[in-house]
Structure 1
Amino acid sequence: VVGAIISNAMYGREIEDSAVGMLRSDDGVTGIIESGYTFPSEGGRSGDHFFRFIGSKASVFAFYGKKGEPLIEINTSEGTEFEEDLGHGERMRNVINEGLSAIQEGRVPETNILDAVSILEIQDAVYDHARLNPLTNGPYPMGAAAARP
């Protein structure tokens, strides 16, 4: 994690309503992850999640279209492609169903708890980085970081 901000400006609660993490891998891939809950409650949408990954041969952006549909944009030297992505709820159902099928069939699931732990470690690193500076944490007082195992 090379940069981060967590904000509770919209709702003023002790938890964030928006967070941005900036990442850089050892091989130079840049990632920007934004996640939040900043849509009006009566709009029918809940979380907003945006991802950008930029490497030496391609850039991949995950975002939402005008009607809230999840989209992926892939940019290479050969042009730009757009694909529909799965919604968060559908993705989680697929992960759970695939895991249950793997157990029934006696095979190793495609995703496992180590994948989830890695995601949480990145999330924790973003929060830790943002909490280092009052300009990247707030503007209202936030609750303390949760104890970690």
Structure 2
Amino acid sequence: MKIALLEVSHWHVPLYVPALEQPGIEVVAVSDSDRLKGSGIATRLGCKEYNSVENLLANEQPDFVFAFGRHPELPRIGKLLVERRIPFSLEKPCGTNADQVAELRKLAEAAGVYVAVPLNFRMGEVLDTLSEINGTLPTDITNFAVRFIVGPPSRYINAGASWMTDPAIAGGGSTINVGTHFIDLFLLLTGKPVSTVSAMMSSRCHGEQIEDHSVVTMRSEDGTVGVVETGYAFPSAADIKREFTFTIGSRKAYVQGGNDQIAYRLRDQLELGTQTRRVPFDTDLFYPLFVDKVLGEMAAGVKPFSGLREAEDMMRIMDAAYASAQAGGAPQLVQNSSPVRE
């Protein structure tokens, strides 16, 4: 299978590379308009380097593309690939607002092009463990709260992505960057559209234009409430990168996660007390799994486990969250949020 990587200066690309060095995969080209990391990645993978997406696509015919880039550029890159009928993965959030994602989704669906989006909390041992504890992936969520606090914005500046501190380019801060995963996870677990969103955001920690602390509260149409707290406030170091804790309750179990451990109590078996399981929480481990999964899906001719429709539903909530924060936390109605649970 011939693979191309677009805009490889993105900080997630190194997490993909080991999975692309497997037998049966040939990376034929990379593009890097930022001219920061393309040469090193091309050398490692033994492939050609191009200085733009357009130049690569004019000279190569890959079987599949992993596309990255600055947030406003993602819809344009996606359209170029749809026009050429090339199946691809598009880095989240796929744009800076839901309408951009919706337009790309419609084009891809009309063309019948496979498009995956790495909303990676739909895979991995955390979700598997939730399914095992509840007997199946729970559909009867009673409460949902996630705290995901990562390192400072300087990480992106040091990685050559200073644009991530500019809200006009990035679309925002921690909410649109890392909150995406947990908004999507709430949609997955409830299986219901979100009707109302309220949010408060702050930039007190680092004083950048983007928010470095955010609390988003969602209410699904059946009354379930979910809270997603994100930030760039964690003092990251080599030994520990972030804070990731959560509480997810269902009719069957009350589940708490943190520090690579899940603790749970079964509501109808309280005599068992609190039970625990060791589960890796390192989100970097999800990316090789994502590579294997999407290439397998594309080869099998099945639709993506996470694609543009899921990204659009998530971004509808994202748009409402930023509108609410701008309005001082006033609740905002969500337009056209309609997750479909298979």
SS of match in other structure, 2:303: coil
For normalisation by structure 1, the TM-score amounts to 0.67
Equivalent residues of 1:29, 1:56 under 8 A apart: no
Distance in 1 between residues matched to 2:262 and 2:315, nearest whole Å: 23
Equivalent residues of 2:203, 2:209 under 8 A apart: yes
Shift of 1:72: 4.4
Residue correspondence of structure 1 range 125-140 to structure 2 within 5 A: 125-133=320-328
SS of match in other structure, 2:218: strand
What residue in structure 1 maps to residue 213 of structure 2? 18
Equivalent residues of 1:36, 1:48 under 8 A apart: no
1:98 aligns to 2:293 (yes or no)? yes
1:116 to 300, 303, 311: 311
Distance 1:43 1:19, change over 3 A: farther
Equivalent residues of 2:215, 2:228 under 8 A apart: yes
Q: Per-residue displacement from partner, 1:52-102 (whole Å, max 9, x unpaired)?
A: 44555554445x31xxx3x44545413555442543222244234311211
SS of match in other structure, 1:13: coil
State the one-letter code of the partner of 1:94: L
What residue in structure 2 maps to residue 7 of structure 1? 202
Q: Per-residue displacement from partner, 1:103-148 (whole Å, max 9, x unpaired)?
A: 1122222222211222222222222211111xx5xxxxxxxxxxxx
What residue in structure 2 maps to residue 140 of structure 1? none
Q: List runs of 5+ in structure 1 lacking aligned partners.
A: 137-149
SS of match in other structure, 2:214: strand
State the one-letter code of the partner of 1:105: A
State the one-letter code of the partner of 1:36: G
Equivalent residues of 1:54, 1:60 under 8 A apart: yes
What residue in structure 1 maps to residue 302 of structure 2? 107
Residue correspondence of structure 1 range 73-84 to structure 2 within 5 A: 73-77=263-267, 78-79=269-270, 80-83=274-277, 84=279
Distance in 1 between residues matched to 2:316 and 2:245, nearest whole Å: 19
RMSD of aligned Cα (Å): 2.8
Structure that is richer in helix per residue: 2
Equivalent residues of 1:4, 1:22 under 8 A apart: yes
SS of match in other structure, 2:211: coil
Shift of 1:14: 0.1
SS of match in other structure, 1:94: helix
Structure having the higher Rg: 2
What residue in structure 2 maps to residue 40 of structure 1? 235
Distance in 1 between residues matched to 2:313 and 2:280, nearest whole Å: 22
Distance 1:86 1:45, change over 3 A: closer
Distance 1:57 1:27, change over 3 A: farther
How many residue pairs were aligned? 129
Give the fraction of aligned pairs with identical amino acids, expressed as a percent.
26
Shift of 1:49: 4.8
Q: Which has the higher contact order (CA 8 A, sep 6+)?
A: 1
Equivalent residues of 1:59, 1:74 under 8 A apart: yes
Shift of 1:44: 4.9
Distance 1:45 1:33, change over 3 A: same
Distance in 2 between residues matched to 1:42 and 1:35, nearest whole Å: 18
